[in-house]
Amino acid sequence: MKKVIVLGCTGSIGASTMEIIADFPEDFSVVALSAHSHEQALLALKEQHPQARLVLTGTEDAREGMDYLGKEGLLRMLEETEADMVVNGISGAAGLLPSIKSLETEKDLALANKETIVTGGDLIFSLAEKYNRTVLPVDSEHSALFHLLMGRKPETVSELILTASGGPFIDMPFEEQRKVTPAQALKHPNWDMGAKISIDSATLANKGLEVIEAWKLFHLPLEKISVLVHRQSLVHSLIRTADNALYGQFSAPDMKLPIQNALFYPELRPVKAAYTDLCGPSLTFEKPDLVRFPMLALAYRAAEKGGPAPIVYNGSNEVAVAAFLKGRIGFTQISRVTAALLEEKWPDPQDTLEGIETVDRLVRERAEAFMGAEL
Ligand code: NDP
Ligand code: MG
């Protein structure tokens, strides 16, 4: 039986993870669970997993039934709880520290939190090596690439192609996007996800983060990583090998497949996910429009700049998206914040946690100031 900790168990990824675990009671034992604000939902999960330690990260005030509280409590739980694997389904840069602590306490890491790789990828891989642990991507495209690349020599791979559904505004000119409301942007055509990633899918910042994530995860030059819009979300990514053959991973748009593959790794189990019928809609592939979706072009710019730039990309976008959701800035202003901040000077994080946290904090302060003064 694998002992599993699920971080962010009340979110979209977390809920899918809990459903899979419920489907395989013989294989997994849940030893701890965390949520940020949904206290009742967390307590309800304790009924199915009575042995699980509970962490509520959003408060420091004592709460009935909670074993640990706050950000520090989460780290302490990871230190004090023995487990084989941590599923990190926390949203945003808040996921980085728990990812680091999971590896330092010798647990494998099933990583949905892409911000961990974007902001701290190099540090994460050095820790995984040091503690001899595995980092398994849960993001559907990266899970697809991970499986497609298995057993291949890097020099035989000439291109990684990330697919993007294009989100709800794929056909909407940039000018028209100015009027987009949070409610419109939250409605994704193919996937049901948390609020932040849904907005990122509408601006294509999600694909931008995924380009940086793939670049850091698979250690291939940036020129070998490309994006194609594939509206049907059936092909989750492709690789091109040196002989110009393409290999792709096809499955229904359901996060349960990559989550289950990470949970069972290195095994592959039959899954209850929908059967993929290729005789359905025609599959189409298009080049993304970088003028209509500046966040995608800015991600390449951030990766090219390297050093602190991916942290700047991630942090400025996170602040801008939160402001958009509160109605403080417009949809097309999200990319203006990132575009401006990427061209500013930032300290080199030098792949240390302290360095990363310093850049992240400075970026957030500057993003707030920029929105106040310029937008
Ligand atoms: P949700 O917003 O649905 O869930 C986030 C989870 O994290 C919730 O359990 C929430 O707790 C918790 N949380 C929120 N803020 C904090 C914090 N500051 N500290 C600790 N915990 C916190 O997000 P998703 O499940 O959609 O996404 C999670 C991660 O997975 C993101 O990094 C996303 O990019 C990635 N991902 C998601 C996909 C999806 O299909 N949803 C697909 C691929 C990647 P509470 O509910 O109690 O507030
Ligand atoms: Mg994805």
User: How many angstroms is it from 140 CA to the middle of ligand 1?
Assistant: 15
Q: What is the pLDDT of residues 174-232, one digit of tens each?
A: 999 999 999 999 998 888 889 999 999 999 999 999 999 999 999 999 999 999 999 99
Residue nearest to atom 4 of ligand 1 (CA): 11
* pLDDT of 36: 98
Is the distance from the beta carbon of residue 335 to the nearest atom of ligand 1 less than 6 Å? no
Domains and CATH numbers, the chain: 2-137 (3.40.50.720), 143-254+273-374 (1.10.1740.10)
Predicted TM-score (pTM) of this structure: 0.97
- CA 249, 223, 90 angle in degrees (round to 5)? 55
Pocket-testing residue among 19, 59, 91, 142, ligand 1, by greatest number of atoms within 8 A of Cβ: 91
How far apart are alpha carbons 324 and 200 in whole angstroms?
11
Reported as a single tens digit per residue, the pLDDT across 160-172 is 999 999 999 999 9
Whether pLDDT at 271 is above 80: no
Mutate to test the pocket of ligand 1, among 13, 43, 88 (most ligand atoms within 8 A of CB): 13
Q: Is the pLDDT of residue 338 over 80?
A: yes
Task: Report which bound ligand comes closest to the CA of 254.
Answer: 1
Indicate whether residue 38 lines ligand 1 (CB < 6 A). yes
